[in-house]
Amino acid sequence: MAQQIKCSVSECQYNSDMVCDAPMIQVDRNGVSKASHSPQTKCETFKPRS
Ligand code: SF4
């Protein structure tokens, strides 16, 4: 079954009606060595709409 990723970052070119259309995304820690809550993570696949 296909997974769906809900995402509200509508300015990303992969975003379609608040769902991510990228075939795969990469999420990394956001400047910390050990994340303990979601703001310490970020989507590296984000691309601004041109
Ligand atoms: S690539 Fe990341 S930021 Fe862009 S729509 Fe997908 S989850 Fe959201």
- The yes-or-no verdict on residue 2 having pLDDT over 80 is no
SS3 15: strand
Which residue ranges have their beta carbon within 6 Å of ligand 1?
A: 5, 7, 9, 12, 14-15, 20, 22, 25, 43, 45-46
> Domain residues of the chain, as ranges?
1-50
Give mean pLDDT, residues 7-27.
Answer: 98
Q: How far is ligand 1, taken at its centre, from the CA of residue 33, in Å?
A: 22
What is the percentage of the chain residues whose pLDDT exceeds 70? 96
Q: Which atom of ligand 1 is found nearest the CA of 7?
A: 8
Residue 12 alpha carbon, nearest atom of ligand 1: 4
**pLDDT for residue 28:** 98
Confidence at 13, pLDDT banded by 50, 70, 90: very high
Indicate the pLDDT class of residue 36, thresholds 50, 70 and 90.
Answer: very high
Tell me: pLDDT of 1 over 90: no
